[in-house]
């Protein structure tokens, strides 16, 4: 958890479970093929990070806007990656020694 806080702003850590739940919802629905869920989570993470950056920042010039865009993209991608990682940890924890998932 400490490593996450070194890279992801503490205010944006809430995006990890939010994106996890969005991914679980997409998995259960027929709206998005499984292979596109990580991309959808990345886009959602960037969008939500952008909202946070715009809501909390003050921008005096183009450099501030570029920094805000960089922050929104990097934080969104990191949060989405952490969410996908959590999903994989949960999936792997549910597997037996022979690699099979007993719930399927």
pLDDT bracket for residue 94 (50, 70, 90): confident
| Neighbour-count burial of 91, counting CB atoms closer than 10 A to its CB (0-12 exposed, 13-18 middle, 19+ buried) | exposed
Which is higher by pLDDT, 67 or 3?
67
Predicted pLDDT at 40: 96
Other beta carbons within 10 Å of 15: 25
Tens of pLDDT, residues 26-79: 999 988 999 999 999 999 999 999 999 999 999 999 999 999 999 999 999 999
Predicted pLDDT at 55: 96
In the chain, domain spans? 13-90
Which is higher by pLDDT, 94 or 9?
9
- Angle of helix 37-56 versus helix 15-28 axis, rounded to 10: 150
pLDDT at residue 95 greater than cutoff 70: yes
Predicted pLDDT at 6: 85
């Amino acid at each position: 958890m400490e490593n996450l806080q070194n890279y992801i702003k503490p205010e944006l850590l809430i995006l990890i479970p939010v994106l996890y739940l969005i991914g679980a919802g997409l998995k259960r629905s027929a709206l998005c093929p499984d292979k596109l869920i990580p991309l959808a989570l990345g886009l959602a993470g960037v969008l939500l990070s952008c909202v946070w950056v715009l809501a909390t920042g003050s921008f005096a010039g183009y450099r501030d806007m570029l920094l805000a865009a960089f922050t929104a993209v990097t934080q969104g991608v990191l949060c989405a990656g952490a969410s996908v990682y959590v999903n994989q940890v949960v999936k792997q924890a549910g597997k037996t020694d022979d690699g099979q998932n007993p719930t399927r």
